[in-house]
């Protein structure tokens, strides 16, 4: 669905696109008032109502309707709902045909078995509490503020003894600019009590090298936390290289590299389905899948640099001219 526009003497409303499944409806669009600013907007589908609490500018509307434009006009919302279905079964039987129609509400798949898939959503909070309570010196890999509305961990880790932001590109939240594959080269005489990253490991061409570098800049007894993706759409192309399981992260922050894993787990449960049905995969959407995976580990020993060497550079691994997408300027 695209560009459905409705207006009257008070409002102009446009739905740019919408999407849905059995469990939710998404709507993206914009709305402006002809009589002043919008005080409150609520969207209802059946008995489900959601207020719009997050707005974003729409420069295209500023050009098209400058007389009504307000920066708080663009929106994207997600409304939970359960769809109702009617299904009719036509059955040939001796002597004729019989049919039965049943009505049923779509139901959500069962929750993942937490004995097999422990919930990892609280591990990030545990790490932040460690940093704040113990007043640790912390380094964030990937400190640049990329997504609108994102809050810097510099603010969230106010109890830290110090916060150092490290990123491939500069911004106001980044103290040191560089390549995580060479992390220790930027801090030759400095060690940290904690090193962490949020949605970064998947963008590193050689995450095993980054794990070795993290060991080099951590104090013994220091903590490292990382959030990355198990299943997620490609992003920051072309430098989107990897997806991880909890066992994969354990292998990355292995005792062989001087780490002791405290916790590793999936979180952000989701479901996958094929756009086109595949024989024998009818129950595929019932399989537990997760958007995120996290690990919290402790450095217990220095890395043995004679045993673990990797002399291949980033330039050797990637095709000529490949680069991480540059920030919009």
Contact in structure between 50 and 102 (CB atoms under 8 Å): no
Query: Which of 296, 314, 328 minimizes the C-alpha distance to 145?
Result: 328
pTM of the model: 0.85
Chain center to CA of 16 = 24
User: How many of the other CB atoms lie within 10 Å of CB of 31?
Assistant: 22
Which domains does the chain possess?
4-80 (no CATH), 123-317 (3.40.50.150)
**What pLDDT, on a 0 to 100 scale, did the predictor assign at position 11?**
92
Query: Which of 295, 290, 284, 275 minimizes the C-alpha distance to 231?
Result: 290
Position 147 confidence tier, pLDDT thresholds 50, 70, 90 = confident
Whether the pLDDT of residue 148 is over 80: the answer is no
Contact in structure between 265 and 118 (CB atoms under 8 Å): yes
- Report pLDDT digits (tens) over 22-32: 888 899 999 99
Contact in structure between 97 and 112 (CB atoms under 8 Å): no
CA separation for the pair 224, 235 (Å, rounded): 24
Least confident of 25-34, 59-68, 79-88: 79-88
**What pLDDT, on a 0 to 100 scale, did the predictor assign at position 81?**
83
Query: Which of 236, 233, 241, 243 minimizes the C-alpha distance to 266?
Result: 243
Please give the backbone phi and psi of residue 2, each rounded to the nearest 5 degrees, phi first: -155, 145
Outline where DSSP puts E strands in 34-170.
Answer: 42-45, 48-51, 74-80, 84-93, 96-105, 137-141, 162-167
Contact in structure between 85 and 180 (CB atoms under 8 Å): no
Mean pLDDT, rounded, of the chain: 92
> Which residues does 210 contact at the CB level (< 8 Å), separation at least 6?
141, 180, 181, 183, 201, 204
CA separation for the pair 233, 265 (Å, rounded): 20
- Report pLDDT digits (tens) over 177-205: 999 999 999 999 999 999 999 999 999 99
Please give the backbone phi and psi of residue 264, each rounded to the nearest 5 degrees, phi first: -150, 135
């Amino acid at each position: 669905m695209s560009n459905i526009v409705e207006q009257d003497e008070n409002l102009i409303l446009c739905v740019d696109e919408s999407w849905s499944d059995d469990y939710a409806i998404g709507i993206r669009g914009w709305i402006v008032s002809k009589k002043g600013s919008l005080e409150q907007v609520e969207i209802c589908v059946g008995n489900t109502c959601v207020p719009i609490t997050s707005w974003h500018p729409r420069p295209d509307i500023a050009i098209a309707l400058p007389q009504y434009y307000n920066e708080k006009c663009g929106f994207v919302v997600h409304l939970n709902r359960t769809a109702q279905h009617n299904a009719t079964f036509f059955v040939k039987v001796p002597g004729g045909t019989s049919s039965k129609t049943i009505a049923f509400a779509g139901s959500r798949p069962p929750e993942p078995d937490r004995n097999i898939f422990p919930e990892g959503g609280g591990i990030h909070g545990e790490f932040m509490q460690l940093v704040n309570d113990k007043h640790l010196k912390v380094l964030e890999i990937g400190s640049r503020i990329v997504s609108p509305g994102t809050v810097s961990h510099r603010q969230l880790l106010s109890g830290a003894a110090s916060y150092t932001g490290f990123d491939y590109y500069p911004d106001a939240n980044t103290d040191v600019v560089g390549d995580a594959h060479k992390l220790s080269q930027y801090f030759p005489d400095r060690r940290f009590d904690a090193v962490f990253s949020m949605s970064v490991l998947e963008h590193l061409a050689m995450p095993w090298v980054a794990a070795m570098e993290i060991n080099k800049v951590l104090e013994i007894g220091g903590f490292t936390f990382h959030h990355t993706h198990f299943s997620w759409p490609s992003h920051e192309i072309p430098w989107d290289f990897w997806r991880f399981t909890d066992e994969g992260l354990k292998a990355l922050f292995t005792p062989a590299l001087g780490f002791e894993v405290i916790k590793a787990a999936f979180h952000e449960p989701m479901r996958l389905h094929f756009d086109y049905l595949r024989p024998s995969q009818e129950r595929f959407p019932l399989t537990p899948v997760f958007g995120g995976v996290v690990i919290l580990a402790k450095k217990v020993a220095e890395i043995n640099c004679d045993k673990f060497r990797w002399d291949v550079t980033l330039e050797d691994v990637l095709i000529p001219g490949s680069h991480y997408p540059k920030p919009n300027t």
